[in-house]
Structure 1
Amino acid sequence: MDSIEAKVVLVGSQDVGKTSLVVRYVNNDFSEKVSSTVGASFFKHKINAGKHTIKLQIWDTAGEERFHSMLPMYYRGASAALLVYDVTNPKSLDDALDWINELRDNCSEHLILCLVANKMDLVEEGCDAIEEGRRLAQENDALFHQTSAKTGSGISETFVDIAKELIGLTGEETPSPNQGTVNVNETTEQKKQCC
């Protein structure tokens, strides 16, 4: 079985749900009361996809402005970035272009970028924040996904799309959305990282 290791970084403004999204993905857990990330948190997660095992090293970064100068050390060397915004907070989408530019300036030109519209449980399909996010993703050659950390909707599909981009799978070898969270051969490990 081929093994691929990939660093995936979650970035975005404060309170957009980055931590809730990654905790839902790796632990299938959600809490209304999540403390703000200090510096970054680190998770490991494996996805088995056909003849490939993708070992994700997931960095959940702080969105607070006071930690902004530290972020390049967390996303340097990243293979993929999930840029998360809150569909109920227009400023977080406005900030997304700045995040895109920062990632483009500090990461490999081959960085897989995915713009993630989070908190979909709080809005109706077709709201302006979704359509504007989709447009921003298209203009910047990024993937686009809609998620809800609260319900779990769209999260596995987001990571499966990242896996597809990482390994270039097509046809019958394409991982299913459930392989990212239900596969009995998966392991998850969480480590806290502080500034």
Structure 2
Amino acid sequence: MNTATDSIHYRELTAADEAAVIVLANEVHGANYLTGTNFADYLERGQLNGVNLNWLAFAGEQLVGVRLTFAPGKWDIDRYCTPSAWPVPAEAMCYFKCAAVDANIRGAGIGRNLLERSIGAAKQLGCRAGLAHIWMESPNNSAFSYFSRCGGQLITEHPGRWYEISVNDGYHCLVCDGICHCTAGEMILPFDNY
């Protein structure tokens, strides 16, 4: 794909985008990472008080980027979270669930532009930071590098973060070639510079 970055356009995610979003997210993260069932859940979690935190990037009519972000109060604090180490309370944070950019156009700033749009929406809801579980084994450790460049700060690492969805929900990790044993880097992105 030869697409100039100035020809990329962005808009909020809608239910009509389900099929294309699932295809792109699963190409990047592995089969069954995103399904029709969890797509509907994620779409709802990304909206609050008329604000949509989920964003898409297109080159012409082709979807080339996805950013799924959960609104404050609409994400779970589970055993892979360390609230005592967070600089702001959970009610002042969104959750960065998923980012995916087409492999043919990576490095063009699409991921960062999607992130900035999600942050702008989150700030409308009073968020001062966002939490993410970054895929530490992503090819060339690109996920950690990208999120660090955006200002993300590593809190701790959680081995086996996606093991349960691998075993119970059929998620097929691209790196582990099946059952996922990858580590998640729990990272906080303060919004001070956004």
Shorter-chain TM-score bucket reads 0.3 to 0.5
Give the TM-score, by structure 1 length.
0.35
Give the TM-score, by structure 2 length.
0.35
